């Protein structure tokens, strides 16, 4: 069994991006610039955005944080999106979700110029991804593909079972794993909360991508010997053992599943650290105007 160390891969990729930014700036080109819009003071969103801004600094990007109070109008937010679309100094930007209930997230996402949509949430990017055109791929699926590549995991002709059908992980993951390229070329099965006898499918799987959000859902007797298991679960469970008062639980019963696997990602330290790095890679692409 080989542990997929997302934390160390993420550190390595940050160094690679930082090196590329140095070269960009040395030849007199513009430093990539990521802007983030944060509405309100939700604890989780504050932490995520602070991490994104800090990572921009680490890799040498310019970053801008634009804050609004919870009561900002949809109209004002849409105006800001338009302004960022038109600002040539901003290469890419994100609007941190969730937004307050009086604002339509879909309307805001669709207002973003897809060429600056480094989250990859715009329907244009989602559509382009599904037919294999240049696009921004959302952070989690993109991070998982990068892990498969960096560990030289074979995917061609394999049976990949995706557990979960969310718009930001399950659906894009299934589309990417069946793409006619590496990593891809898989036969893909998508299982979800209404699937009957899930183990019938998981036992057939060479690669399992678990993204249902159900702690320790995947048990040893559901996995075939030698499978590759990617755990996307990050459920916060109360814990007396940690300073923060909670611990992260994956969708995989790691201790019993790991001995059967050829490769497995831990939680934490597997897929999680790759997500911000994917956003940075997308921003680098945006800076190069690689998506048009």
Nearer to ligand GUN, 72 or 228 (CB): 72
Sole binder of ligand GUN in the list 35, 72, 94, 257 (CB under 6 A): 94
Q: Is the peptide bond before 183 cis (omega within 30 degrees of 0)?
A: yes
Total residues contacting ligand GUN by CB under 6 A comes to 6
Q: How many CA atoms lie within 13 A of 194 on its CB side?
A: 1
Nearer to ligand GUN, 97 or 178 (CB): 97
Could you say which of 5, 91, 117, 119 is catalytic?
Answer: 119
Handedness of CA 76, 81, 84, 85 (dihedral sign): negative
- Is-catalytic flag, 82? no
Selected range binding ligand GUN among 94-102, 204-212, 235-243, 247-255, rule: CB under 6 A: 94-102
Closest residue to ligand GUN using C-beta atoms: 97
Minimum separation from the CB atom of position 25 to ligand GUN (A): 27
Tokens standing for residue 219: 């048990």
Alpha-carbon separation of residue 281 from 92, 186, 207, 275 (angstroms): 11, 25, 25, 10
- Is-catalytic flag, 119? yes
Selected range binding ligand GUN among 89-97, 158-166, 170-178, 251-259, rule: CB under 6 A: 89-97
User: Strands 207-210, 227-231: parallel, antiparallel or unpaired by DSSP?
Assistant: parallel
Selected range binding ligand GUN among 62-70, 91-99, 151-159, 255-263, rule: CB under 6 A: 91-99
- Is-catalytic flag, 96? yes
Distance, in Å, from the CA atom of 127 to the CA atom of 182, rounded to the nearest integer, reads 19
Distance, in Å, from the CA atom of 107 to the CA atom of 19, rounded to the nearest integer, reads 37
Minimum separation from the CB atom of position 154 to ligand GUN (A): 29
Sole binder of ligand GUN in the list 112, 139, 190, 198 (CB under 6 A): 139
- Cβ(3)–Cβ(266) below 8 Å: yes
Number of Cβ within a 10 Å radius of residue 22: 12
Residue that is written with structure tokens 């609004």 in the block: 68
The reply on whether position 96 binds ligand GUN by CB under 6 A is yes
Give catalytic residues, as residue numbers. Answer: 52, 96, 119
Give the footprint of ligand GUN on this chain (CB under 6 A): 94-97, 119, 139
């Amino acid at each position: 069994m080989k542990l997929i160390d997302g934390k160390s891969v993420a550190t390595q990729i940050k160094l690679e991006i930082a090196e590329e930014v140095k070269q960009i700036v040395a030849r007199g080109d513009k430093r990539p610039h990521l802007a983030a819009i944060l509405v309100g003071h939700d604890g989780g969103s504050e932490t995520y955005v602070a991490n994104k801004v800090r990572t921009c600094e680490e890799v040498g990007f310019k970053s801008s944080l634009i804050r609004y109070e919870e009561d900002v109008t949809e109209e004002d937010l849409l105006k800001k999106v338009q302004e960022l679309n038109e600002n040539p100094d901003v290469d890419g930007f994100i609007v941190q979700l969730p937004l307050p209930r009086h604002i339509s997230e879909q309307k805001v996402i669709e207002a973003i110029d897809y060429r600056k949509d480094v989250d990859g949430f715009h329907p244009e990017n989602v559509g382009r991804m599904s037919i294999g055109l240049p696009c921004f791929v959302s952070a989690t699926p993109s991070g998982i593909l990068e892990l498969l590549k960096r560990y030289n995991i074979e995917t061609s002709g394999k049976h990949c079972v995706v557990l979960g059908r969310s718009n930001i992980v399950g659906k894009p993951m299934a589309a990417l794993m069946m793409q006619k390229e590496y990593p891809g070329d898989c036969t893909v099965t998508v299982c979800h909360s209404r699937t009957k006898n899930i183990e019938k499918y998981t036992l057939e799987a060479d690669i399992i991508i678990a993204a249902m959000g159900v702690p320790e859902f995947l048990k040893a007797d559901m996995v075939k010997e030698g499978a590759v298991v990617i755990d996307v679960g990050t459920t916060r469970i109360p814990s007396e053992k940690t300073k923060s008062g909670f611990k992260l639980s994956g969708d995989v019963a790691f201790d019993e599943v790991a001995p059967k696997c050829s490769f497995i990602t831990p939680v934490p330290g597997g897929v999680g650290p790759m997500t911000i790095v994917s956003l940075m890679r997308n921003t680098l692409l945006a800076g190069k105007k690689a998506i048009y």
